[in-house]
Structure 1
């Protein structure tokens, strides 16, 4: 296992933002860097990717990996604001322009696909390709929430009632139950490492704003036109047991979801692997092998 590198910081819009930089022993400067976009949820941050990073280097990846914490999560500042996908995309645009300064392959988990799509619009010249990991069902990613509905739910969450809910949601009992019911295909893979990491990061109540912004649905828009406009190679990776996190996508199978994404993407390819909705964590070895050809790494058997 690679030792965790020290957290580094940069300033964006007067906020302190955090990231870690991971360089393998066989690092090759000509390789395309990877930029990871972590999911949003109770206790989630860039630490979500640690298993993936370790396994990538075990399997011979030579790509340098940039793993930022989105504002409101992890080691950076956590202002009390409602975050939109464009806010986080602008943070990553600055990160690309001023820290990385060369084209990357973006790997994005889950519904934070909305952030990656906004980022492509802002800074396509610094994106060489994209990997959508466990993206939302097509029904969900093309469903437009009204602004009043988003504002209503934000105001509901950003209240004493919402604060009380967050205190309960960050308990190990709730996190284990939710992870088993909604995220993992195999209950036994909801392990101590997963739960301990979530509870530790969620101990800071300031992390609730990012979570509540996500739950309020600020990311729920019709993104079909942005997906169709992508002119970069794109890989879609779905779990064989993938399920919708939203009611509107409950009837959509992984095969249907994958077919819809590939029909819309200009340069899309897709693959299914064992697992459900958090593939880089639950099915790490399979995920690393599945994306290796796309990244340009020989597959190790």
Structure 2
């Protein structure tokens, strides 16, 4: 069931999957969904369902970021720090205890920003990175001028026309098969129906445009080096990048780059490409649960 809270003047949504009755010691999981056409907290439903089916004790907090799902969708440009501040408020007022932060894909900069905000509160116990982006994409800031030009283009009638096309079932099916899933047969009706429904509200375009404009591509190298919490890096065996970059790398290289950059990191490779909690749910749940045993 969806619950709501107010951050600044905005109505924000989240789901709570409660802990086992009588269990007060298990560390909650806080999920950060990816940004993309039609994406929201629903992205995590397969993971949440299997987690509960397997009877793991940890409760799950699954919020909608501003601009997505059932949260308000102001017509603004979103930066990683904006979503991090939303989650900081959520942690301090709703959760009120340390969490294991699980972040999908290129939303890793949001997690990095949140860890930085939480240095005094110590509400981030540990992190799990699901299919993080190539590290060099967030070790050098993109040109602010280029970012603004891209944002202005997306914000224009041309961009709005593109979004109408991008939320069509044909485009969603093609993009998912080419860029997100290792097995095209996993691009099922459930996935496409979810994206179509999630993109129906045209206000959802602004979070997507912010991502496409590259506002997440900043120099986070120093902040990453200061993440002292235990961190699990999960990479798909067929991981790829959907961002333009001069550097290509195989999954092993991506994982090893993160392990060298994070002070307390472990790595694991599981089947799948770029949406591991959805495509490889069973393996993902197993990897997360095994990691939790090492940090409790």
Q: Do they superpose with TM above 0.5?
A: yes
Equivalent in the alignment of 2:215: 218
- Give 4+ residue runs of structure 1 displaced > 6 Å after superposition: none
1:28 deviates by 2.0
The answer to whether 1:54 aligns with 2:49 is yes
Quick check: 1:240–1:276 contact (8 Å CA) kept in 2? yes
191, 196, 199: which is aligned to 2:196?
199
Provide the rounded CA distance (Å) in 1 between the counterparts of 2:246 and 2:224.
18
Greater shift after overlay, 190-199 or 223-232? 223-232
Counterpart selection for 1:282 from 273, 279, 282: 279
Q: Cα–Cα, structure 1 residues 250 and 28, in superposed 2: closer, same or farther, change >3 Å?
A: farther
RMSD: 1.2
The answer for the alignment partner of 2:172 in structure 1 is 175
Match of 1:291 in 2: 288
The answer for the alignment partner of 1:154 in structure 2 is 151
Work out which of the residue numbers 132, 135, 140 in structure 2 matches 1:138.
135
Give the distance between the partners of 2:13 and 2:269, measured in 1 at CA: 32
What is the TM-score when the length of structure 1 is the normalising length? 0.95
Match of 2:102 in 1: 107
> How many residues align structurally?
292
Q: What are the Cα deviations for residues 22-73 of structure 1, in whole angstroms up to 9, with x where unaligned?
A: 1255672100000000000000000000000011112221100000000000
1:112 to partner: Cα distance: 0.3
Matches within 5 A, 1:82-121: 82-121=77-116
Distance 1:250 1:200, change over 3 A: farther
For residue 250 of structure 1, report the CA deviation from its aligned partner: 5.4
Report the Cα distance in structure 2 between the residues aligned to 1:292 and 1:249, rounded to whole angstroms.
36
Q: Contact 1:140–1:249 (CA<8 Å) still a contact in 2? A: no
TM-score (norm 2): 0.96
Q: CA deviation at 1:146?
A: 1.2
5+ unaligned residues in a row in structure 2: which ranges? Answer: none
Deviation per residue, 1:68-93 (Å, 9 max, x gap): 00000000110000000000000000
Match of 1:42 in 2: 37
Listed one character per residue, the Cα deviations across residues 143-199 of structure 1 (whole Å, up to 9, x for unaligned) are 320111111100000011111000000011000000000000000000000000000
